[in-house]
Structure 1
Amino acid sequence: MAVVDVLNTKAEKVSEIELADYIFDVPAKSNVLHEVVRMQLACRRSGTASVKHRSDVKGSGRKLFRQKGTGRARRGDIKSPLLRGGGSVFGPDPRSYAYSVPKKVKKLALKMALSSKYRTNELVVLDNFDLDKIQTKKFIGIINQLNIKKALIVIDEKNEKLELSSRNVPNIKVMRYEGLNVYDILKYNHLVLLEPSIKSIEGRFVV
């Protein structure tokens, strides 16, 4: 099993922890990671682009002028797409871009993403991340002490002091283990796991 050092908030080694090979030692396949990330980003698209079609435009249904005898082109009502202010013909309507991939593929991609962070030495395990109060300055000091930038911090349970202290810090995201996903793992340079969250993450893969 893979073994990593457990650090405290002063970047000092306090112990070691074994990581499950079936989660943190999985060969990465770019096509699997790409498919899951693409799915995640598609599900985040709002799909709210919309236009008014002929039936949505406010206006009278009366014919503007008689069909013949004026020398002009034939016209219907004022909502015609040919007239300014009329309805659009082929404009977009609200839609969902979401689609899904098999659960097994999602789990495999998550294992690959976690394994990639371990193999590239971008995985940091902390024994805890307790703050006395909500204080961004102290949070930044700990991050600088650990010498990490653009990091995803995964916690095992609600930690209001940590979550609020970090929310205004650029390139730092605090997430509970339930929301751990492939896109965020790959997006950030470092993955910081609190030691208790590792058991919770491993529990997600138990059949």
Structure 2
Amino acid sequence: MKVAVIDINGKKTGRSVELSKAVFGIEPNDHAIYLDVKQHLANKRQGTHKAKERAEIVGSTRKIKKQKGTGTARAGSIKSPIFRGGGRAFGPRPRNYSFKLNKGLKKLARQSALSIKAKEENIVVIEKFDFDTPKTKNFTSILKALELENKKSLFVLDGSNNNVYLSSRNLERANVISGSELNTYKVLNANKVVISESCLEEIESNFSK
């Protein structure tokens, strides 16, 4: 599959690149995508939720009423979960939500995500660019040229574009990452995936092994 290379003004450069079929042209595996996205979201969870149970509630330990003759159920502690202000029964405890996935499955999921975007013609290849200083206005002008100012966009650039990353940091719908940070969730969450020409070879090398 050939894709035209464009410049930062959204105009064709007259060159084109061939997208690797092993990365951008496979039959998507929906279950692999599901597992990889599930792991990504699970790893982002802090897992610091906590509710106090009856042993952790501060309160009197005396028996609140006599055992028999009240006409109601027996009760031994004001900290019981059945009373207002008592402890939580089987409440949440801190835990780690992360889980392991095999490297092969994660690679398949990312190949599948990129193949979906390529099939939808939502892969854009842009020539290498950089800014002298971080400036949001410069990055906004690129989004306007590519007609992406009102869409979610993912820019995948090589690791030396620190000024570009800083220029996009305040923009809610734009996300700039390096090729090594590319993952299934970010690819599928974007309307357009903009890949720099210099980073394309790195992506194909990483995901075609």
Global fold match (TM > 0.5)? yes
Of the candidates 188, 191, 202, which is equivalent to residue 190 of structure 2?
188
Helix, strand or coil at the partner of 1:16: strand
TM-score by length of 1: 0.86
Aligned pairs, how many?
A: 206
Residue by residue, what CA displacement relative to the aligned partner does 1:68-111 show, whole Å, maximum 9, x if unpaired? 67787644243222333221112222233333333212111111
Which is worse superposed, 146-155 or 76-85?
76-85
Helix, strand or coil at the partner of 1:174: strand
TM-score by length of 2: 0.85
Query: Unpaired segments of 5 or more residues in structure 1?
Result: none
Q: Whole-Å Cα distance in 2 between the matches of residues 150 and 129 of structure 1?
A: 20
Residue by residue, what CA displacement relative to the aligned partner does 1:104-131 show, whole Å, maximum 9, x if unpaired? 1211111111122222211111112312
Of the candidates 157, 169, 173, which is equivalent to residue 167 of structure 1?
169
Query: Unpaired segments of 5 or more residues in structure 2?
Result: none
Helix, strand or coil at the partner of 1:191: strand
Aligned twin of 1:145: 145
Aligned twin of 2:7: 8
Q: Whole-Å Cα distance in 2 between the matches of residues 183 and 22 of structure 1?
A: 20
Q: Whole-Å Cα distance in 1 between the matches of residues 73 and 112 of structure 2?
A: 64
How many percent identity over aligned positions?
A: 39
Would the alpha carbon gap of residues 35 and 70 (structure 1) be closer, same or farther in structure 2, given more than 3 Å must change?
Answer: closer
- Asked whether the 8 Å contact 2:29–2:108 carries over to 1, the reply is no
Helix, strand or coil at the partner of 2:55: helix
Would the alpha carbon gap of residues 111 and 69 (structure 1) be closer, same or farther in structure 2, given more than 3 Å must change?
Answer: closer
Measured on the aligned residues, the alpha-carbon RMSD in Å equals 2.3
Which is worse superposed, 195-204 or 75-84?
75-84
2:27 paired with 1:27: yes
2:136 paired with 1:136: yes
Shift of residue 154 of structure 1? 0.7
Q: Whole-Å Cα distance in 2 between the matches of residues 71 and 116 of structure 1?
A: 67
Shift of residue 42 of structure 1? 3.0
Aligned twin of 1:111: 111
